[in-house]
A and B are shown apart, each in its own frame.
Chain A
Amino acid sequence: MSGDPILSVDRLSMRFGGIVAVNDLSFDAERRKITALIGPNGAGKTTVFNCITGFYKPTSGAMRLTHDDGHAIQLQRLNDFRIAKLARVARTFQNIRLFPGMTALENLMVAQHNALMRASGLTFLGLIGAPSWRNAEQAAIDLSRTWLDRIGLLDRADDAAGNLPYGDQRRLEIARAMCTQPALLCLDEPAAGLNARESAALSELLLSIRSEEGTSILLIEHDMSVVMEISDHVVVMDYGVKIAEGTPRHIRDDPKVIAAYLGADEEEAIAVMESGT
């Protein structure tokens, strides 16, 4: 593949005991593009995510992340929080993982931890209330406010995250990931559990993140309408291996993809085919 990949996964394999969850998987995610990772349940998509974000150590293979300035980082050599901090890869979770007892605003403030830690002089400047810290704190609040506004939650900024409706929690989690100012945003089923209107709003949000922030996005999604609408590139997995990749249009007509879905789940197969008509 030509172009300028932000992330290139090279022969990634992940085994749990005797089970091979991901087998020799290679694909690229283009810079400032939305790449979708799809496949039937149990295809190993979330495992790929967990490898990329360092929650699992892959059995073998390499994942190279290249920043805009050309600086490349081998993700398999870093652990989870360093990937988020140094490689600037942010993620969301399939089952939402907000800080439920903290407010929406606080959730976004926590996301800016590393920047704020520096600004607070590793806490000491903050403890004495230095002006430089105050400015940095205000800037962080402003950034949070901007994101709350973008996801339509400005009015609920001071509500506990655990009290927000499901759809709002999904969007808040994305906003929280964006507050880390990531180079690559990994979304694990962001449209799961959303209704049609919310899905449409989500698509809009993701497209605006790509165009306005210039953030590259990698997403796992079952909602084919979202995948087909916003993806620039689709990678299809089944039983831990890549069975197809290409543009949404190309994927939709690929008999291997349809077969994979038919074999796994009739409803999803129909969804894949219908989304083309």
Chain B
Amino acid sequence: MSGIRNLGMPFDPDLFSDLKMNRSAIERRAKSLGGRRSVKKEWQAAWLLKTITFIDLTTLAGDDTDGRVKRLCAKALRPVKEDVLLSLGAQSLNIHPGAVCVYNNFVGIAVKALAGSGIPVAAVSTGFPAGHTPLAIRLVEIRASVKAGAQEIDIVIERHMVLNENWRALYTMIARCREVCGEAHIKVILGTGELGTLTHVAKASMVAMMAGADFIKTSTGKEGVNATLPVSLVMVRMIRTYFEMTGYKIGYKPAGGISDSKTALQYVILMKEELGNDWLTPDLFRIGASSLLTDIERQLEHCATGRYAAYHHQPLV
């Protein structure tokens, strides 16, 4: 990753305690976004190719195996068919996902599979998905992931700290994790589907950034509700606020439920409209997904050939 890394700042509740999010207004804005912008033809192809570079290609399932992780990595190395790239004139763009995201235990396998590609491995490493394990154990887990070669660590927060508004504890917990991450970048998963209100989402976002998060991320993919546009709007607005306050650009990662091109493009549009082009880089924007890639491939094939494409023609993720 490039740019100046967020150094965080001292815990200061004055900077976020007055925040209030108006759900209805936020939902209205989120709803109208899709209708306000549209990318067609070459623009659609280019935007979708770019979207692939935002993907944290992810497998986080109970039945993950070495074989499954290897297959995912292979796909990361060749996310789009050669002929499609050629026909779009995109062969020199070196399209690959932003990272491959796995459980701690599979970091080693993934690192090996991706060796030499420049694609980083991200690990979910802190009692994922609930975070209800002793902090000491979670820190051990982070260290293990980093040692195994993970360049990015996705941590989960303890939701009770938000629900009970124990912001200082949240700050301290995240800061500890960040410390242990060392050079590895830290993405803080808020579990927004379990935070109750958008105001909580906003405050948790601010605390995470103050504590040194490189990215703030919506969900584990395991909550009842995962990434949504209204929640994203709140989080990116907080990123903007933090940037205006400190000059640090924090990344954003929606995850869970983004499985088709149309939805993914809405998130890209949201980033462009609310944060600007600076954020349209894998350094500052990721989408946690897996099946999304197949849908994007189909759309790209359509852009290339003019024919609607079939799922089974795309190499499995």
Genuine A/B complex = no
Residues of chain B whose beta carbon lies under 8 Å from any beta carbon of chain A = none
